[in-house]
Amino acid sequence: MSRIVVPYVRSGGQGAARSGQSVPVRDVRGPALSELDNSDRRRGYWFGLAPDDAEERWYFEAVQDTDGRWIAVRQLTILGDGSRRAYSVDHLEDESGFLTDAPLEPEESGLDEIAADEWQRVWSGA
């Protein structure tokens, strides 16, 4: 089985930003995440509440990489007003946020495992 390495560092344009300056950032994870998402590696599905807003719900689909880390390939945030923010290997980021770039640690993050069909129902908006 080939080793899939997902880069976690988000590249930041030319030069370093000075304090108070913003630097355009280009997410470089796409190809590696696509490869992982299309692999036959183990998948997991989780649900959790935002630690600072009990009305904000988080849903993750993750694939276990070759080092045993859970790498998110789809993420859905449902805000208290019902609006949704969805990220995937095909839509990594927008003005509101981005697909998490850190491996999931479900046990330490208070995430609860859910069934794949339940996750898919929520993801599809049913």
Q: Kindly state whether residue 18 falls inside one of the protein's structural domains.
A: no
In a domain, 23, yes or no: no
pTM of the model: 0.76
Interacting residues of 93 by C-beta distance below 8 A, sequence separation 6+? 27, 87, 99
Mean of the per-residue pLDDT values of the chain: 82
Nearest Cα neighbor of 62 from 92, 41, 91, 90 is: 41
Task: Report yes or no on 45 lying in a domain.
Answer: yes
Residue 44 lies in a domain: yes
In a domain, 100, yes or no: yes
Residue 41, Cα to own-chain centre: how many angstroms? Answer: 17
Residue 75, pLDDT > 60, answer yes
Look at residue 63 and tell me if it is in a domain: yes
Whether residue 39 lies inside any domain: the answer is yes
**Residues 9-25: tens digit of each pLDDT:** 444 444 444 555 555 55
Q: Domain residues for 69?
A: 30-123
54 is a domain residue: yes
How many separate domains does the chain show? 1
